[in-house]
Chains A and B, each alone.
Chain A
Amino acid sequence: MIYFLQQLINGLSLGAIYALIALGYTMVYGVLRFINFAHGDVFMIGAFAGLYIAPLVMKYSNGGPSWPGAFVVLVAAMAICAILGIVIEKLAYRPLRNRPRLTVLITAIGVSLFLENFGQYAFGVDPQYFPSLINNHSIAIPASFGLLSHLRIKVSQVLIFAVTMFLLLFLRFIVTKTKLGMAMRALSVNPVATSLMGVNNDVVISFTFGLGSALAGAAGILISIQQPSVDPLMGLQPGIKAFVAAVLGGIGNIPGAALGGVLLGVIETLFVAYSDQLHISSGYRDAVAFFLLIIILLFKPTGLLGRVEREKV
């Protein structure tokens, strides 16, 4: 029982990471109908931004961890990623606004490859240690909880979960309750009509990209706090998994991304946890994620929470 619960916690924690990255994917797709292949790499840039900024900030806390310092690094990384996202959009995606989707997808792949290889060229291929921005200890569960006190949860796991939930609500707030959000929703339905209504599409799209990239940057920092090893290729795997998570939950649907992320994390973890009983080697773990993707696309392509869209001709 404890084993199951601990693995469940592991799964939820992993899932929160996927969810955090998936939020950015799904938001960009929801507004622009475009899979930003480079999202995982912006996440990586965010982590590296944190790597370089952290020592500067930690000078003020005598080189030790501090919550205010961590917050500063987080915001700085988010800002850098937001700018990066806006620049990429302006240079690589905006000129292709009216082209077929495949063209933009290929460009996105190109941007992703460029960021990865440039990262290797500029930062070196070896992983680097991400300094501890916060005191990431295990949370002690009082013995009065009985068996549960044997469970292990870290501060960072709770933090990631909490931030993901917060961002989920925050994004929903922006999208549903603000004018900018309304413009984003309108853009996703009909860009032409939206601009006819007096909305500056370029600004809305830039904002969407900036926000999505900022989310990726936040993910980069939070995840590096938990898994303190950064390298230029670190965005590859989480990027793909987060995409699967977003599709699982219904791409374009913000709560769906969170649900999909958590679900994927839990399923993957429980697969490994019980791989012996299933008589399948836990090495098939990555295949499980893709297998889930295929299943959902076969039976409910709009995802768990997505709504069917009629394609008009």
Chain B
Amino acid sequence: MLALGCLAGCKGPEPGAGPEGIPVGEFASMSGGSASFGQSSHNGTALAIDEINAAGGVLGKQINLITEDDRSVAGEPSTIVHKLISEDHVVAVLGEVASSKSLEAAPICQENHIPMISPASTNAKVTQVGDYIFRVCFIDPFQGKVMAKFALSKGWTKVALLTDVKEDYSVGLADAFQSAFTAGGGAIVKTEEYSTGDKDFSAQLTAIQAANPDAVFVPGYYAEVALIARQARESGITVPLLGGDGWVGESLLKVAGNALDGCFFSNHYSQDDPSPVIQNFVKTYQDKYGEKPDAMAALGYDSAKILADAITRAGTTDEPKLRDAIAATKDFKGVTGDITLDDQRNATKAAVILTIANGGFQFVQRVAP
């Protein structure tokens, strides 16, 4: 029954810039468990598109951003990306933050030769799906190495790991840190796990304290990290906590209070970086959305800007040329750093290490790739 209905008038994908504008697809978790990240990255992307359109668009046309919500549900990304490609005829797809969702959508984009730019997926496998898949962030192995080197440089040779076992980002970063840290001569004295949504970490923290580490690596997301920091201090753990870009979130410092003072984490950018590009971005974002942009927002912004830049450079939205233009991105001045896409289609750019002091983040150092 249904098959017959669909046989009538359904054809393959034909991406195209019509007279109404250039359709660009975005898929993100706007609701559900991962909504905070999806909404952030979407805000950044939307802001970028607005700015581009206000300045005249690309190739003389406005960009029409079509956003679909994958509701943080498995199986949804493939459905909505199919829709974006075959129904909305988008010329490129922006998304997703979560590596698992990117890995679901990537084969579809690759098969249809539609470039996909992920703002924040850090699992190395994402871009390995094919040459149409790009990302504007660094990958887990790099970020893990950054923090491992930093820890070693501070003379911390014994580190405990506290990983979110339910989050692929956390697991990936912890693995990367561990390899780099032990390769550099350090030792992981304790490994503990928790789950997203947990609020009590006293068991793990007491165990970690008993192992007497020089620092604790907590590559999780801000919701749990804030509570972990509080409880760590309450358990008597005085050593610094280390983490990754998942720490960045509005509620991190509000919930943690000063428990995170003196801790360090790697990030894509620093809100306090005096560079005008960044300050301008922070201000416009804050004006529009009423809060400071987190890492996901900044990456969402850069992913859209890089796409627009590539379209301009290619001079067309034709797939192979657009793909090549994206792949050729070099020294793009994004808010998350000077971005060059390497031959693995990952972003080679510096990471920044930030610390927490005086109720905010402070820049510590930049680590080049």
Contacts and interface: CB of A to CB of B under 8 A. Distances in A.
B202 A10 contact: yes
Contacts of A228: 227, 230, 255
Query: What size tier do the contact residues of chain A reach?
Result: 35 or more
Given A229-B251, A229-B255, A7 B234 contact: no
A273 B35 CA distance: 33
A127 interface: yes
B236 A129 contact: no
Interface string B173-206: 0000000000000000011110101111011101
A231 interface: yes
A174 to B, nearest CB: 29
B329 interface: no
B241 interface: no
Contacts of B199: 223, 227, 229, 234, 238
A81 to B, nearest CB: 19
Interface string B227-259: 100100011100000000000011100110000
Contacts of B32: 120
Contacts of B236: 152
Contacts of A129: 251, 254-255
Nearest to A136: B234
Contacts of A6: 206
Contacts of B31: 120, 125
Contact of A126 (B197, B198, B249): B249
A127 B192 contact: no
B43 to A, nearest CB: 13
Interface in A121-159: 125-129, 138, 152, 154
A304 interface: no
Interface in A218-234: 223, 227-229, 231, 233-234
Contacts of A282: 192-193, 203-204, 207
B33 interface: yes
Nearest to B207: A273
A293 B230 CA distance: 31
A283 B165 contact: yes
B195 A286 contact: yes
19 contacts: A13-B202, A14-B202, A14-B203, A125-B35, A125-B39, A126-B250, A127-B251, A152-B235, A154-B234, A223-B199, A228-B227, A228-B255, A229-B227, A229-B251, A233-B197, A237-B198, A268-B203, A282-B193, A283-B163
Give the 5 A-B residue pairs with the shortest CB-CB distance, closest first. A283-B193, A283-B165, A272-B203, A10-B202, A129-B254
